[in-house]
Amino acid sequence: MQYQEITDKTKPEMDKVIAFLDREMGKIRTGRASPSLVEDVVVDCFGQKFPLKQLAAISTPEVKQILIQPWDKSYIEGIVRALEKTGVGANPIVDKDTIRISLPPLSEEYRKNLVHLISEKQEEARKTIRHWREEAWAEIQEKTKSGEIREDDKFRAKDKLQELIDEYNEKIEKSGEKKKKEVLG
C-alpha cells in the first residue's frame, strides 16, 4: 500500500469539514438578511418536524428583510412558533399568506459575540481536521510497522499530510475572516 492512498482517502473527509463549516458560517447573522439564517429552523407541523425550507419559499426582498411564503396556509402558525424560538433576533410578522422578518441593526456587543462564535466554529473545524490527520498518521505508522510502507515513505507521508493540513487550515482561516468582515463591516 502506498502512503498516497491514505492521504487521498483523508482529503474527502477534510472537504466535508470545510463544507460543514461554510454551512455553519451561513447561519450566522450579519448585517444582511439571508435565507440561510432560517432555512434549517425545525418546524413542528402536524406532529412531525420539518426544516423550514421544506415547508416554504424563503427570499430576501430587501437587505434587512426575510420573506417566508409557506406552501400551505396551515403551516403559518407552526412556522411562527419555530421562528420565535430561534435566536434570529427579530419577531416574525404574519401578513396574509406570508411571514416577514425585519432584522434590526446589530449592536456592538452582539457583533462581538458573533465574532467569538465564528472563532469557536473555526476551532471546531481545526479540531476535526487534526483528528483526521491523527487517524491518517496512525494508519501510516501501522502500515510502516507491518512493512507495507517503507520507512523513508513514512516521512514523505508525514510531510504530505502536513501540507494537506496547512491547506485546510488556510481554508478555515479564510472562511472565518470573510464572515468576521461581514459581521463587523
What would the pLDDT profile of 149-158 be if each residue is shown by its tens digit?
A: 888 888 888 8
Cell 420573506, residue located:
67
Are both 58 and 86 inside the same structural domain? yes
Are both 43 and 83 inside the same structural domain? yes
Diameter of the chain measured on Cα atoms:
71
Are both 7 and 76 inside the same structural domain? no
Q: Which of these three, 53, 71, 102, is where a domain ends?
A: 102
φ, ψ at 2 (rounded to 5°): -95, 150
pTM: 0.71
CATH number at residue 52: 3.30.1360.40
Quickly state the pLDDT bin for 174 (edges 50, 70, 90).
Answer: very high
Are both 18 and 44 inside the same structural domain? no
- Give the Å distances, CA to CA, from 153 to 82, 97, 135, 137: 54, 64, 17, 12
pLDDT for residue 183 is more than 80: no
Are both 95 and 111 inside the same structural domain? no
CATH number at residue 162: 1.10.132.20
Give the closest residue to 43 by CA, choosing from 81, 91, 74, 94.
81
pLDDT for residue 1 is more than 60: no
Are both 93 and 67 inside the same structural domain? yes
Are both 94 and 41 inside the same structural domain? yes
Query: Helix, strand, or coil here: 55?
Result: coil
**Structural domain for 94, as ranges:** 35-102
Are both 60 and 75 inside the same structural domain? yes
Total domains, the chain? 2
Q: Which of these three, 102, 122, 141, is where a domain ends?
A: 102
φ, ψ at 28 (rounded to 5°): -85, 125
123-156 pLDDT, tens digit each: 999 999 999 999 999 998 898 888 888 888 888 8
Are both 75 and 7 inside the same structural domain? no
22-79 pLDDT, tens digit each: 888 877 766 677 777 777 778 887 788 888 788 888 888 887 788 888 888 888 888 8
Query: Helix, strand, or coil here: 183?
Result: helix
Q: Which of these three, 48, 70, 102, is where a domain ends?
A: 102
φ, ψ at 43 (rounded to 5°): -110, 130
Cell of 15: 472537504
